[in-house]
Amino acid sequence: MPKYTHPETEGFGARLARLRKAAGFTQTQLAEELGISRRRIAYCEAESSHPPAALLKDLARVLNTSIEELLGSDKGKQKTRSKSLSPRLERRLKQIENLSPKPKQQLLSIIDSFIAAEQNRVSRS
């Protein structure tokens, strides 16, 4: 069972892993999004004292957070970007837009069904 580490005392690697999982990425998916190897993500998530400076900007963008939050700065909690479409979701939406009409309509119907079911579940709670 993994040991819980408080966000204020966690190292860069643990913080990156937590933010990656919160954004819904596997190491492989994050690596693909950044155009790097999965091994590099695994290395970054290992407890190392030196965060990858060259990747910080792209990591923050893809994970929809701030560099300050990635580094564990108190200011980062205040500067975290407002909720907008993640690059991953934005890319998928563009792919849906490029589908032919029939598959696009079928996929949108499935999405609508999931949204309606969630709204019903929330309204009953």
Write the pLDDT tens digit of every residue in 70-94: 888 865 444 444 456 677 787 888 8
- Contact, 62 vs 44, CB < 8 A? no
- Does residue 24 sit in the same domain as residue 54? yes
Residue 21 has pLDDT above 70, yes or no: yes
Give how many domains the chain has, as a whole number. 2
8 Å CB contact between 108 and 116: no
Domain that holds residue 111: 87-124
Res. 5 pLDDT band, cuts 50 70 90: very low
The CATH number linked to 19 is 1.10.260.40
Same domain, yes or no: 25 and 69 = yes
Residue 66 has pLDDT above 60, yes or no: yes
Residue 21 lies in a domain: yes
**Separation between Cα atoms, residue 118 and residue 84, nearest integer Å:** 20
